[in-house]
Amino acid sequence: MDSHTHIQGVIYTMKEIDVSKFEKKIILRNIEEKDFNDIIKLSELCFQNMEPWRYEELKSHISVFPKVSSVWNTTDKSLVPVQV
């Protein structure tokens, strides 16, 4: 089914697009010690001008903030740390 949008008196027709092939299941969970190496690699990649997290810092972080130290995984096994 097409949808129509009116902008300044002009009607634009937009085709429906099946985006299901782009969808991924996301799992939000607490950080575990097994995640540390991936988080360190990710921080090196994302913050190249900064020192990456160190193992000891991550260990301390999850002991001080156990309920808000989280990561999400996708069905393709991507790992992303999040602060909730």
pLDDT at 16 over 70: yes
How confident is the model at residue 66, as a pLDDT? 82
Q: CB neighbours of 69 closer than 8 A, spacing ≥ 6?
A: 30, 31, 61, 62, 81, 83
Quote the pTM value.
Answer: 0.59
What residue spans define the domains of the chain?
A: 24-83
Region 3-25: mean pLDDT is 75
Radius of gyration from C-alpha coordinates of the chain = 20
Q: Average pLDDT of 35-45?
A: 88
- The pLDDT of 68-82, averaged and rounded, is 67
